[in-house]
Copies of this chain bind each other. A is one copy, B any other.
Amino acid sequence: MDARGPSSDSSPWMPFESRRRARDEKRDAVLRTAVHLFLEQGYHRATLNEVAERLNITKPALYNYFRGKEDILFECWALGQERVDDFIAGIDAAGGTGLAKLRKLIRAYAEVMTTDYGASLVRFDPRDLTEKNSRVVRAAKRSIDRTFRKYIADGIADGSIRPRDPKLTAFVIAGSLNWIGHWFQRDGAMSAEAIGSEFTERLTEGLAAKPARRRAASTPAKRRKSSGGTR
């Protein structure tokens, strides 16, 4: 709000700011430790005592930053969701064919799934949340599903994707990606980037329309019957 930045030497706002930052850093540390432990042992088996212990504090100290265990769980989920929302906004802004957008979505989503917060989107059970938070989660899941379906439908409309049912296709792709959150491990042989690339290829090679020279016709309504028969 003030014209002089925080670099101004004896600013009376500095201590206040630094204090707030220290607090946020501690809050983040709690979340990082919690999400890690929740993933490692499962939400119900993980105890707040152990979260605190790993941070060299005691359980009640956690309550300075969170209202309770469920609050922490929801925050972990929200951080993962935020990342998804961010890159979807980026993809939407960039534009391109449906197929191009879908491929970007697959790659980004796959890579998010290899992170702790990303995995929490699929490893945690919404039924452990309050009704209020649970509704937020369900709404977000529906939104992601709609995005997948939309890109697929866009691709069919613009001719970059061969006609097929967007709903089922979205389930196939999203399921495959979501499962990454269940098997990926950082110390494993595969890098997040390699997984992103591989999944992008494997999950789109079947749907891409032939790289026909023709510009996408405005209405590719009826496809040619068995134009090359993939099976």
Q: Which residues of A contact B (CB under 8 A)?
A: 41-42, 44-45, 125, 127-128, 164-165, 168-169, 171-180, 182-183, 195, 198-199, 201-208, 210-211, 228-231
Given known pairs A205-B206, A206-B230, the reply for A179 and B175 (CB within 8 Å) is yes
CB neighbours (8 Å) of A211 from chain B are 229, 231
Given A171-B183, A175-B180, A205-B231, 10 new contacts (CB under 8 A): A41-B127, A42-B128, A45-B128, A164-B202, A172-B176, A175-B176, A175-B182, A178-B182, A204-B231, A206-B230
Q: State the number of copies, please.
A: 2
Contact status A171-B179, CB under 8 Å: yes
CB neighbours (8 Å) of A208 from chain B are 230-231
CB neighbours (8 Å) of A178 from chain B are 175, 179, 182
Which of B172, B201, B231 is in CB contact (< 8 Å) with A199? Answer: B172
3 closest A-B pairs by CB: A175-B179, A206-B206, A205-B206
* Complex alpha-carbon distance, A115 and B228, angstroms: 36
CB neighbours (8 Å) of A168 from chain B are 195, 198-199, 202
* Complex alpha-carbon distance, A205 and B230, angstroms: 6
Contact status B172-A203, CB under 8 Å: yes
Q: Chain B: which residue is nearest A125 at the CB level?
A: B42
CB neighbours (8 Å) of A201 from chain B are 231
| Shortest distance between the CB of A5 and any CB in chain B (Å) | 49
Contact status A179-B174, CB under 8 Å: yes
